[in-house]
């Protein structure tokens, strides 16, 4: 009987191409963390929520999938990627329903170009990409040309504007988030045209003006009026919000339309939003002057309502 004294070369090559489980985990740990993007963080948060709803721990999911804890953790924080097939496997293991699977897999296969669109269903205020990043922001700068910006609306004003009380409650929750002790430095530019445009009647407007005057006293929060007499500038035309984060996370900008919200973390686009915010900052009244304008309009609407 012939005994093989050498292992055939093809077998050696095959063995090298299929590492054992321990070797796979070791290789996973060596994968360098990448700089996360807004889209990868959104995807990671979607996966984290799916896992939490399944009541499975990170260790349980990692063990079931044959992953390391490091791989799962980096995926949930958006600092590494993986294949749509592996994401589908994770979703199936956690028992995600079809609607969730379709939504998450759509994000997973989306090209990471630095710009992405999310449909407002039911409103932009509840979009994960928005709330996730507002919660993590270091600074927030917002502008809307014809209405009081969402981050400064009363519930009655928001309800009158949108016709939806749930949207109003979502906006109130966003404001509460900004007011938390560790909340971001927030600057809201309010065009004087928004103070003149009557939404919901004189009482709603009076209460909204009083709210704006009150918010001027909030810590880490500035409301600044762009007066009607301000010089015409392209920065006044469209709404915009710019968020910054602790480095190395890149800034994120977004603009809401009637049906969708467009997000950007492409550096060239961010530079345009930064220039817009600088232009607005040169058009506004001082903080004290802005408070006086809000108080003036509160008094004017109070008199109209008598």
129-154 pLDDT, tens per residue?
Answer: 999 999 999 999 999 999 999 999 99
Instruction: Give the model confidence (pLDDT) of 240-265 as tens digits.
Output: 999 999 999 999 999 999 999 999 99
At the top level of CATH, the class of 37-112 is mainly alpha
pTM: 0.86
How far apart CA 276 and CA 279 sit, in angstroms, is: 5
pLDDT of residue 122: 84
CATH number for region 115-304: 3.30.870
Instruction: Give the model confidence (pLDDT) of 171-217 as tens digits.
Output: 999 999 999 989 999 999 999 999 999 999 999 999 999 999 999 99
- Mean pLDDT over residues 35-55, rounded? 95
Query: Strand ranges (DSSP E) for the chain?
Result: 115-119, 139-144, 185-191, 221-226, 240-244, 252-256, 260-264
For the sheet with 252-256, list strands across it.
115-119, 260-264, 252-256, 240-244, 139-144, 185-191, 221-226
- The β-bridge partners of 263 are 116, 254
Instruction: Give the model confidence (pLDDT) of 8-43 as tens digits.
Output: 343 333 334 334 445 444 444 454 456 799 999 999
How far apart CA 239 and CA 67 sit, in angstroms, is: 43
Instruction: Give the model confidence (pLDDT) of 73-112 as tens digits.
Output: 999 999 998 999 999 999 999 999 999 999 999 999 999 9
C-alpha distances (whole Å) from 78 to each of 34, 121, 248 are 8, 24, 13
DSSP state of 243: E
How far apart CA 207 and CA 209 sit, in angstroms, is: 5
Q: Which residues fall within 8 angstroms of residue 40, CB to CB, at 6 or more apart?
A: 78, 79, 81, 112
Angle subtended at Cα 70 by Cα 66 and Cα 73, rounded to the nearest 5 degrees: 100
Please list the residue range(s) of the chain that carry CATH number 3.30.870. 115-304
Please list the residue range(s) of the chain that carry CATH number 1.10.260.40. 37-112
pLDDT of residue 33: 52
The 3-state DSSP class for residue 94 equals coil
Judged against a pLDDT cut of 90, whether residue 290 lies above it is answered with yes
- Mean pLDDT over residues 209-229, rounded? 96
DSSP state of 152: G
Judged against a pLDDT cut of 50, whether residue 114 lies above it is answered with yes
pLDDT of residue 34: 63
Q: How many helices (H) and strands (E) does the chain have?
A: 14, 7
């Amino acid at each position: 009987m012939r005994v093989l004294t050498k292992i055939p070369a093809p077998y050696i090559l095959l063995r090298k191409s299929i590492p054992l489980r321990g070797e796979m985990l070791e290789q996973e740990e060596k994968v360098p963390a990448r700089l996360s993007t807004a889209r990868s963080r959104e995807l990671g948060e979607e996966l984290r929520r799916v896992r939490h709803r399944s009541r499975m721990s990170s260790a349980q999911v990692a063990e079931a999938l044959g992953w390391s804890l490091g791989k799962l953790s980096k995926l949930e924080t958006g600092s590494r990627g993986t294949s749509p097939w592996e994401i589908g496997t994770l979703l199936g293991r956690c028992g995600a329903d079809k609607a969730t699977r379709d939504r998450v897999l759509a994000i997973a296969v989306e090209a990471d170009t630095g710009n992405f669109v999310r449909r407002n269903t039911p409103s932009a205020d509840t979009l994960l990409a928005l709330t996730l990043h507002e919660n993590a922001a270091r600074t927030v700068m917002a502008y809307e040309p014809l209405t009081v910006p969402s981050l400064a609306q009363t519930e009655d004003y928001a309800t009158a504007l949108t016709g939806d009380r749930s949207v109003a409650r979502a906006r109130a929750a966003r404001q509460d988030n900004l007011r938390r002790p560790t909340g971001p430095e927030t600057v809201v530019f309010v065009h004087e045209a928004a103070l003149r445009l009557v939404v919901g009647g004189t009482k709603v407007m009076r209460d909204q003006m009083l709210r704006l005057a009150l918010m001027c006293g909030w810590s880490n929060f500035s409301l600044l009026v762009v007066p009607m007499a301000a010089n015409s500038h392209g920065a006044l035309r469209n709404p915009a919000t710019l968020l910054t984060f602790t480095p190395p996370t890149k800034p994120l900008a977004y603009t809401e339309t009637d049906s969708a919200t467009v997000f950007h973390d492409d550096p060239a686009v961010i530079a345009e939003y930064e220039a817009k915010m600088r232009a607005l900052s040169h058009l506004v009244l001082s903080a004290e002057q802005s408070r006086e304008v809000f108080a003036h309009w509160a008094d004017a609407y109070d008199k109209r309502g008598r």
